Structure 1
């Protein structure tokens, strides 16, 4: 289970470092082609979401790696589940039901990370 957790956590961390970093660093115009929803969400909220994604990525990796407060990895994965629930809600409200596949995959991976995180305690 340890190896499985690290694989899932690494995949999620890489994705969220990329996506969160873009949300934190890029302008609304730069994000628009890839993330059409940013036109309906205030940029401060987009920045908060990006920051939460970056913190979630760090929380998946650093606590288990250092052995300090390893329960934070479970909290981080749970937070990433909630981010994807919100993402699905935004896409559904915009009528973009065909675009929720990535959100569902990320939600499932984060839920698996929660489950795997509880098995190595």
Structure 2
């Protein structure tokens, strides 16, 4: 498979992860914390309003990874969104370190790496603008 296909697969995977993560908008944080075990206790550190804001940003990020390219409307937003997603997961990893949850940081670091891959690929060799060499 060529790089463009891999970038689409990874962007779709990240968008799916972000959409699944938006459950914090609809499910009470106490229920998430109880159902998710130790790895989900972080939600108790945030107010319901903050969790809704994070969830809203995740919805926007999921859309921003896919829709601009599919609709061919400002496709440069795809790598910009990927950078923002990388920052989101960097913050998630930092929060887990602060909470002493080193065992649960691995997925955040994987998602961070995948977001950096999409940003690199869409700013560089597989840019939608055709300006990359």
CA distance in 1, matches of 2:67, 2:126: 15
1:116 positional shift: 1.4
If the length of structure 1 is used for normalisation, what is the TM-score? Answer: 0.94
Q: What's the CA shift string for 1:10-61, capped at 9, x where partnerless?
A: 11111111112x0111111221132210111112111111111111110000
* Contact 1:4–1:116 (Cα < 8 Å) also in 2: no
If the length of structure 2 is used for normalisation, what is the TM-score? Answer: 0.86
CA distance in 1, matches of 2:100, 2:74: 40
Which of these residues, 50, 61, 64, is aligned with residue 66 of structure 2? 61
Gaps of 5+ in 2: 128-133
Moved over 6 A (4+): none
Larger radius of gyration: 2
CA distance in 1, matches of 2:67, 2:105: 29
* Contact 1:63–1:70 (Cα < 8 Å) also in 2: yes
User: What are the residue-to-residue correspondences of 1:1-121 with 2, within 5 Å?
Assistant: 1-20=3-22, 22-32=23-33, 33-34=35-36, 35-118=40-123, 119-121=125-127
Q: Which has the bigger relative contact order, CA under 8 A and spacing at least 6? A: 1
The size of the alignment, in residue pairs, is 120
1:113 positional shift: 0.8
